[in-house]
Structure 1
Amino acid sequence: MEENKFYDDIVGSKDAPYINSLAKQGASFSDFHGTTHPSQGNYVALYSGSTHGVADDDCPHDFSADNLGHQLLGSGHSFIGYSEDLPSAGSKDCGDDGDSGYARKHNGWVDFANTPASSNLGFDRFPSDYGKLPTVSFVTPNLDNDMHDGSVKQGDSWLKKNLDGYVQWAKTHNSALMLTWDEDDGDDSDNQIATMVVGDHVQPGAKSKAHYNHYSLLRTLEDMYGLAPLGKAASAKPVTDIWNTSVAPRKGKGVAPAAAPARPPAPAPAGKAAGGAADRAAGGAADSAADLTDPHKKDIAMQLVSSAENSSLDWKAQYTYVEDIGDGRGYTGGIVGFCSGTGDMLDLVQLYTQREPGNPLAAYLPALRKVNGSDSHAGLGSGFVSAWHTAASDPAFQQAQNDERDRVYFTPSVDRAKQDGLHALGQFSYYDAMVMHGPGTDPVSFGGIRATAMKHARTPAQGGDEKTYLNAFLDARKAAMLTEAAHDDTSRVDTEQRVFLAAGNLGLNPPLSWKTYGDPYTIAR
């Protein structure tokens, strides 16, 4: 977030050559607006969906309301705000408003008690290995470098020096930079500001004429990660007109193409568990005490996925699995099918290397970075496959696969299902969909599938019938599968999940019998 400049002070300015180059590399907006005056309320609004009545730059302001960081952390994702010249990690200091360069009024996340101190860091902690960035980061330069006290030229130079490396990396790593300002340099109600987005999935040179504001950015981020929109973000229009939707769905962390927003879940009626007594009384009723996070239920989920992905219930034998299955995602490997073309295999090997430098796969990190986003094997080949097999016997690599499975797929999908009022079967349906289609929001990723289902049926959390909603979700899932030749066998839906649903087994309780690809399987207990 930059500071206090009219739109025309930035766009086309000879003092901002780097910023204007970002508009050419990515997208720019000609009708984007700040929320309020003065500065502080804009930071609070972008982070939480409301100014919470902040109409000054006084310090401190303290809130307990929900916010983007709290949402991300609560759904298995991560958030860090990086402030240049922050006195110390986690500091709640007001700053000297110029003497130190840091001012708390430009740090919206520190005002919220439910954003942990570990999410409030100095910019000196911004990683040089961009693969170690959290899911979402906010960056605030100091008062000189954000154009508040310094010049446009100074701010432009700071951005190029400190963030261009990330920008170039983001273009091929399912990530993006959103650059905006807090407000214009007046006190008018129009409050037009410059804004640019550059990175993967962004149409180079796109020029949006749609009317957007800070709440639109917040809504866009929330939609990307399947989060319920907060405050005024719920009625704001998400940014939908700059994304390159011709690219294949991708499963890596970071910014993915935005789609039509899913309707946020409503709370279940007071005194009534989501799903209702009728669901619990059905044959094979849901066991509310054992959701998919129960170790036994989680193991069942792993076996079900393995039957579809590997034609075996022995999911722990799949740490060593790796091959190109011809689906346009390069190599697929491991317990949930990490892919070299979608970013999650790269994230896995980076985590493994962070924990165990010099491992057999570490030498292939440069090649994995280059092939990310494609089906290429360049720099990989038989040597990589052999190294994968060797690494698979290392407990550290096995644990890295478990941890990445949980971080990227299991925890976000199960948390989302719980918010939607679903029991273990529905939680598994979400998880299986996220494993295959990725956590994005385009029509054939998990978020888009869920949004399609919600157009046809209400979730239990919205007062709907659980079986009806799950049938709608599986209909949408099957339609998404049929868009890809590699997934035209829909038996993991038709003769697996629908079998359990038809039996009323919302709790996913054994014994379980099903077929995938025509092969029969049973979990007795």
Structure 2
Amino acid sequence: MAVRFPGKIWWTLFAALFAALFVAACGSSSSDSKPALTGQQQIRHVFVITLENENYSTTFGSTPKAPYLATTLAAQGALVQQYYGTGHVSLDNYIAMLSGQSPTTDTDNDCMTYSDLKSTGTTPDGQTIGTGCVYPAAVKTLPDQLKAAGFTWKGYEGDMGNDPAREAATCGHPVIGTQDMTQVAEAPSAAVPQGDMYATRHNPFMYFHSIIDSSDCGTNVVNLNANLEKDLQSVDTTANFNFITPSLCDDGHDAPCADGRPGGLTSADAFLQEWVPKITSSPAFKKDGLLIINFDESSYAPTNGLDTTTNPPTLTLAFTGTTCCSQQPGPNLGAFPQTSDAISTVPGSALGMPSVPQVTVNLTKQSFGGDQTGAVLISPFIKPGTVSTVPYNHYSMLKSIEDIFGLSHLGYAGQAGLVGFGSDIFTNL
């Protein structure tokens, strides 16, 4: 006998059947209907480790001083031979990587005083004109872009907060208008057993009011050792963009270090041996990661040795300042060559002279670039043993990361003709 349904029930059954067919045809959620990511945009987790002050020939030459980086890690991914810093002496490079901004006269000399940048305008290509260090909130950064696009970011800072009297353990920076006490490493003591080799000038997040005035700063700019390994445990706890700054010892800046370790490339190589396997074995990296290991700039060449006729003794450091990629100097620097006298007085140990208590440093720059440093990139999307001879610099890196996440180009990352990382590096897409 046929079963007869009232009209309302027929309509209910019909609506349910139609909904089921619609879901089957279109997918169970809006995210399922998005087109699959292709090319470099398959990368969803980027890690950057920035080391300090080494020439390409020293790091990657025939007798490399960092064999784990130059031999083991380079063989796992791509050796980018023609990678260049964008300036000397440190801070200007970090700012370029995060914002595409060229130096001011203050950031070009590491901002011994942590001062606000007084802007007098902006060039058509997005460069801030002015003097000072900490950019106004209107000047945006890669983290600002990522947040606006729904991505996450984090900065991991070696030793930050070891001495709470110098800087906080999150978002650690001097008070605006005061001397930056992190310019020199602090040796271990009874009060600070581990010492404190954090350097604000190597933490680019601290030079933008759009970050330091935000609650995100306290959450996202954190101590490296206390947080990175924990955050790597799952995809959900790993940020899309991770900028990792080792301490002044672990990044190779100091040699010897304030805690007695050798420093230089020896300590930098040891840092990489500890942390790179933790990154590359993490779920996020194995799924869709990219690790970039670069140097902020090349090293210097002392001129005429240590002048002991002054008190304290004086050392003049010379930089060639070679550039690539049609890099521009920006609106704030004068003509080159330039000499800056007595930019700082530092312990001799910071310059490889442990027997000299203090040294006054002069700088001579032949040009405005950061010279050739080389870089290593590792990713599931890079075939092991890849070698690239295409010229790149920090602006290229910023452009490449922006391209990965589908963002617009900030500052000189948007320079006409600038090339981002290409098929010479991503050989396994």
**Aligned partners of 2:234, 2:83: CA distance in 1, in Å?**
28
Question: 1:28-83: CA deviations, max 9, x gaps?
Answer: 11111100011110000110001341211124221121110111011100111111
Q: 2:143 is matched with which residue?
A: 69
**Aligned partners of 1:220, 1:8: CA distance in 2, in Å?**
25
Change (3 A) 1:174 1:95: farther
Change (3 A) 1:209 1:33: same
Q: 1:16 is matched with which residue?
A: 66
| Alpha-carbon distance, 1:108 to partner | 0.5
Q: Which one of 150, 153, 156 corresponds to residue 269 of structure 2?
A: 156
In the alignment, is the contact (CA less than 8 A) between 2:386 and 2:427 conserved in 1? Answer: no
Amino acid at match of 2:412: K
Q: 1:295 is matched with which residue?
A: none
**Aligned partners of 2:375, 2:423: CA distance in 1, in Å?**
14
Q: 1:237 is matched with which residue?
A: 419
Change (3 A) 1:98 1:225: same
1:4 aligns with 2:53: yes
Change (3 A) 1:168 1:242: farther
Q: Which one of 110, 116, 120 corresponds to residue 221 of structure 2?
A: 120
Change (3 A) 1:28 1:95: farther
Amino acid at match of 2:220: S
Amino acid at match of 1:62: V
**Aligned partners of 2:200, 2:80: CA distance in 1, in Å?**
28
| Alpha-carbon distance, 1:102 to partner | 0.6
Q: 2:171 is matched with which residue?
A: 90
Does 80-89 or 95-104 show the bigger shift?
95-104
1:129 aligns with 2:233: yes
**Aligned partners of 2:412, 2:209: CA distance in 1, in Å?**
20
**Aligned partners of 2:110, 2:426: CA distance in 1, in Å?**
39
Q: Which one of 188, 195, 201 corresponds to residue 105 of structure 1?
A: 201
1:197 aligns with 2:377: yes
The 5 A counterparts of 1:334-413 are: none
**Aligned partners of 2:428, 2:267: CA distance in 1, in Å?**
37
Q: Which one of 280, 298, 308 corresponds to residue 184 of structure 1?
A: 298
Q: 1:146 is matched with which residue?
A: 251
Change (3 A) 1:43 1:246: closer
TM-score (norm 1): 0.45
Amino acid at match of 1:207: V
The 5 A counterparts of 1:255-334 are: none
SS class of match (1:55): helix
| Alpha-carbon distance, 1:168 to partner | 3.5
In the alignment, is the contact (CA less than 8 A) between 2:53 and 2:295 conserved in 1? Answer: yes
Q: Which one of 395, 401, 413 corresponds to residue 221 of structure 1?
A: 401
In the alignment, is the contact (CA less than 8 A) between 1:203 and 1:242 conserved in 2? Answer: no
Q: Which one of 26, 44, 48 corresponds to residue 95 of structure 2?
A: 44
Q: Which one of 173, 183, 189 corresponds to residue 287 of structure 2?
A: 173
Name the one with the larger helix percent.
Answer: 1
| Alpha-carbon distance, 1:237 to partner | 1.1
Identical positions, percent: 27
| Alpha-carbon distance, 1:119 to partner | 2.2
**Aligned partners of 1:193, 1:78: CA distance in 2, in Å?**
29
| Alpha-carbon distance, 1:245 to partner | 5.9
In the alignment, is the contact (CA less than 8 A) between 1:171 and 1:198 conserved in 2? Answer: no
Unaligned runs of 5+ in 1: 248-525
In the alignment, is the contact (CA less than 8 A) between 2:395 and 2:412 conserved in 1? Answer: yes
| Alpha-carbon distance, 1:241 to partner | 2.6
**Aligned partners of 1:162, 1:245: CA distance in 2, in Å?**
25
Q: 1:481 is matched with which residue?
A: none
Question: 1:214-236: CA deviations, max 9, x gaps?
Answer: 00000000001111000100122
SS class of match (1:76): coil
**Aligned partners of 2:265, 2:181: CA distance in 1, in Å?**
23
SS class of match (2:268): helix
Unaligned runs of 5+ in 2: 1-49, 115-132, 162-168, 175-179, 187-195, 255-262, 301-318, 323-370
Q: 2:78 is matched with which residue?
A: 27
SS class of match (1:176): strand
In the alignment, is the contact (CA less than 8 A) between 1:33 and 1:212 conserved in 2? Answer: yes
In the alignment, is the contact (CA less than 8 A) between 1:28 and 1:197 conserved in 2? Answer: yes
Q: Which has the higher contact order (CA 8 A, sep 6+)?
A: 2
Amino acid at match of 2:385: G
Q: 1:377 is matched with which residue?
A: none
Question: 1:193-242: CA deviations, max 9, x gaps?
Answer: 02010022112111111110000000000001111000100122100034
Amino acid at match of 1:151: G
**Aligned partners of 1:207, 1:182: CA distance in 2, in Å?**
20
Amino acid at match of 2:286: T
Change (3 A) 1:34 1:130: farther
Figure out how many residues of one structure are paired with residues of the other and give that number.
247
TM-score (norm 2): 0.55
Amino acid at match of 2:80: F
The 5 A counterparts of 1:438-517 are: none
Question: 1:96-145: CA deviations, max 9, x gaps?
Answer: 32112011000111111112312211102112415221100100000011
In the alignment, is the contact (CA less than 8 A) between 2:382 and 2:428 conserved in 1? Answer: no
Q: 2:40 is matched with which residue?
A: none
